[in-house]
Amino acid sequence: MVTLLNICVALIAGLLMSRLAKVIKLPAVTGYLVAGILIGPYCLGQLGIEGFGFTSMESVKSLDLMSQVALGFIAFAIGNEFRLSQLKQTGKQATVVAIVQAVMATILVDIALIGLHFILGPDKLPIPTAITLGAIATATAPAATLMVVRQYKAKGKVTDMLLPVVALDDAVGLVVFAISFGIAKAMTQGTFSMISIILEPILEVILSLALGLIMGLLFTFFEKWFHSNSKRLSLSITFVILTVALSMLKFEVGGVHVGFSSLLVCMMLGSVFCNICDFSEELMERTDKWTAPLFVLFFVLSGAELELSVFSEWTVVLIGVVYIIARSVGKIFGAYVGAKGTKCAPTIVKYLGITLLPQAGVALGMSLTAAQVLGAEGAVIRNVALFAVLIYELVGPLLTKIALTKAGEITPNPTDARVANDDDDDE
């Protein structure tokens, strides 16, 4: 009963805050995140009334499965942007930009935090911590970006480049994190493993894409058995949930840890489906409408998970501020260099980097891995990542909206403003 009440409260709070966000011209996703903070353990949860907000972080985590499913549908929707007709035009550019901006963010964060290490001392900021945070800087949140694009119906060259870059960013981030984290572990524990540094991250990317490919082919095959829209929609939902479940599998073969990235798997599922199924666009639209409340719940839960307690430690705040500044510069400058080098349109060169700032689930997953392995140093990494996610999730969607507006890709006019607003409510 309490769980169902929490779900209802989360949805109501998210919807109400989205109305307020619209009044003050903020993206709806920001309203959902603020709603989560308000009903989370640090605000209404302090009252201790079960069913009237989340009274503890454990009660938020109890709905983690729903967040995983929602993220799967978000990745599935992003996969729809990888249509071969479009990739022929932007595929090479998106790949180069994704790699350059991710590596640039890592390099600048590493330099800034290693410099801060010499100021604060090894007790406050060890070198392995700085290196690991540099790797976490690669990650970009696809969920918030996709929601802003959908809410404002953004269309144009920057948007066409943005979604593939965000999707590819996950694969690049996994490899960079594994290499940097392997070096950090070697410095901390005195052991060096080429398997964990090189083989495992590459294997995770390859296996994730392979699993997504297989599920996409099966999905398309079975989809042709049904002709009614309701049954096709039901099968679509089933396959995305099944794919999320399979992507959670982890096992060990000959000392090599094998796992999957649910984001990559579900992106590949969507990409395969949209390229080989004739009626994929219509089905994607129906799936988007069905998942609207699930996405609201996902972002409210994301807001409730944000740890406000990190503000109590001045070292975490200082390291977090330096991390945010260095990562932001790296993302913006890296996207600029990558776009300029591949001769992208001027609007892409100028505005793409700003849209890549949001950071959430993937970064928190990386920080959790570090916290489990590195002990006290890992706890610092986790807290800094939580602080950065808190800031990025609240500010990032707004910056994405501003960048796309300045690029001329969000241009509602007076005659259709009312229709657009009505559609926004559905997001």
Q: pLDDT tens across 104-136, in order? A: 999 999 999 999 888 888 778 888 888 888 888
Residue 272 in this model has a pLDDT that exceeds 60? yes
**Three-state secondary structure call for residue 21:** helix
Residue 418 in this model has a pLDDT that exceeds 60? no
> pLDDT tens across 202-252, in order?
787 788 889 999 998 998 888 878 877 788 888 888 988 999 999 888 877
Distance CA 353, CA 169 (A): 13
Phi, psi values for residue 251, rounded to 5°: -155, 175
- pLDDT band at 331; cut points 50, 70, 90: very high
> pLDDT tens across 129-178, in order?
888 888 888 888 777 777 788 788 888 888 888 878 887 887 787 778 77
What is the model's pLDDT at position 421? 45
Contact 188, 374 (CB under 8 A): yes
Contact 207, 258 (CB under 8 A): yes
Residue 257: strand pairing partners: 252
pTM over cut 0.85: no
What is the model's pLDDT at position 372? 67
> pLDDT tens across 22-68, in order?
888 777 888 888 888 888 888 887 887 776 778 888 888 888 888 88
What is the model's pLDDT at position 426? 42
**Three-state secondary structure call for residue 251:** strand
Phi, psi values for residue 413, rounded to 5°: -110, 160
Most confident of 90-94, 188-192, 327-331, 353-357: 327-331
